[in-house]
Chain A
């Protein structure tokens, strides 16, 4: 099977994009978790 060999620059930029995407996804999960807590606590308070 033919394989593409990434250059160092391509590897570096892909790693950077993956880390950024990972951080964004983690941030979204954390944000939805806290939003759920806030919504539930407001609902219970009401």
Chain B
């Protein structure tokens, strides 16, 4: 049935299972789209941090963070292969599609986790390596193995795993944790529920079919919509905190406020969506906008910081 089972063998070795998995299949295990978000937010943490890191050491740090995040994705796919096979969104992933065996994915994930943490520790510093190790543990064990199948608050708490990369990037430069890096963490942390519950609304049946207790299935659409609006408001507020704390300019603050209003606007659109709406267009729009929002916020933070640095270096008003 599976590609892995298909083989030609002579004699008593017929039971040997030979893999047809390609390098691309293993790359897919790393959840490249999630990895791109991790790379981007980790880079933001690194750019915004005070101090200097050699560009090549910074490149290695980003690479380690990306591989560590990818490794936790592989461990997630290994553990969730049973439910991935049932859900339309995940049925074509390498394990349920039969391209990679679960034990191969487990070995791949564990190896990459160990390598990424150790190399980050040796090349950059051990605080950032410790944060990366904790992030991998949090995503693979706390979220995937524990929270995901046991509580509708799974992605609220589990969202911390996706929010750590800017803190790691910051720690790579400063060897420490600061209020600014915690604010960067909170931006992604508070953004995650609205983003994920928008997806959960229009994929409700998928999650229901595999018994994952997502909020729409457990508490209903109305509660989910209320929670989406609450977290969108919290996200909009935390988005402007960099300006109120003084590590971003008023221009960034105005831009973040406008984006925040947009985020609330789209979430209110979901809130006003009729119960039992089949197409769920407002939820799909919010999901798309939320991705744009996060990229725009972190881009704006980096551009604002680079402009301010350039201004100071060139003598500013002088």
**Are B20 and A13 in contact (CB-based, < 8 A)?**
yes
State the CA gap A16–B19 with chains docked (Å): 12
A6 touches B12 (CB 8 A): no
Tell me, in angstroms, the Cα distance from A16 to B227 when the chains sit together.
Answer: 47
Given A4-B18, A35-B123, CB of A10 within 8 Å of CB of B23? no
* Contact assessment for B16 and A13 in the assembled complex, using a CB-CB cutoff below 8 Å: no
The answer to whether the Cβ of A44 comes within 8 Å of any Cβ in the partner chain is no
With an 8 Å Cβ cutoff, the count of chain A residues facing the other chain is 19
- A6:B18 contact, CB within 8 angstroms: yes
A13 and B22 form a contact (CB under 8 A) = yes
Is B315 close to A, CB under 8 A? Answer: no
CB A8 to nearest CB in B, in angstroms, measures: 10
Interface presence of B60 (CB below 8 A): yes
Does the CB pair B54–A42 fall under 8 Å?
yes
Complex Cα distance, B22 from A16, in Å, reads 6
Complex Cα gap A38–B9 (Å): 51
- List the B side residues contacting A7 at CB < 8 Å: 6-8
A29 within 8 A of B: no
Across the interface, which residues of B come within 8 angstroms of A9, CB to CB?
6, 20
Q: Does B103 sit at the interface, judged by CB under 8 A?
A: no
Instruction: Given A13-B20, A16-B22, A35-B60, check contact A3 B54 (CB 8 Å).
Output: no
Judge whether B314 is part of the interface by a CB distance below 8 angstroms.
Answer: no
Main secondary structure of the interface of A (DSSP, over half): helix
Inter-subunit contact B57/A10 (CB<8 Å): no
Instruction: Give the chain B neighbours of A42 by CB distance below 8 A.
Output: 54
Question: Which residues of chain B come closer than 8 Å to A5, judged between CB atoms?
Answer: 8-10
| B residues 60-83 touching A (CB-CB < 8 Å) | 60, 63
Write out the residue numbers on chain A whose beta carbons fall within 8 Å of the beta carbon of B50: none
How many angstroms from the CA of A9 to the CA of B2 in the assembled complex? 14
Q: CA–CA, A9 to B22, complex, Å?
A: 10
Smallest Cβ distance from B56 to chain A, in angstroms? 6
Query: At the interface, yes or no: B277 with Cβ under 8 Å from chain A?
Result: no
CB B12 to nearest CB in A, in angstroms, measures 6
Contact of B10 among A2, A10, A16 (CB under 8 A): A2
- Extra inter-chain contacts (17) besides given A4-B13, A9-B6, A31-B63, CB under 8 Å: A2-B12, A3-B11, A4-B10, A5-B8, A5-B10, A7-B7, A10-B19, A10-B20, A13-B19, A16-B22, A16-B23, A17-B21, A17-B22, A17-B26, A19-B23, A31-B60, A34-B56
Report which B residues bind A (CB closer than 8 A). 6-13, 16, 18-24, 26, 54, 56-57, 60, 63, 123
Give me the 5 closest cross-chain CB pairs, A-B, nearest first. A20-B23, A2-B11, A13-B20, A4-B9, A13-B22
- Can you name 22 A-B pairs with beta carbons within 8 Å? A2-B10, A3-B13, A4-B7, A4-B9, A4-B13, A4-B18, A5-B8, A5-B10, A6-B7, A6-B8, A6-B18, A7-B8, A10-B20, A13-B21, A16-B23, A16-B24, A17-B22, A17-B23, A34-B56, A35-B57, A38-B54, A38-B57
Interface residues, chain A, with chain B CB atoms under 8 Å away: 2-7, 9-10, 13-14, 16-17, 19-20, 31, 34-35, 38, 42
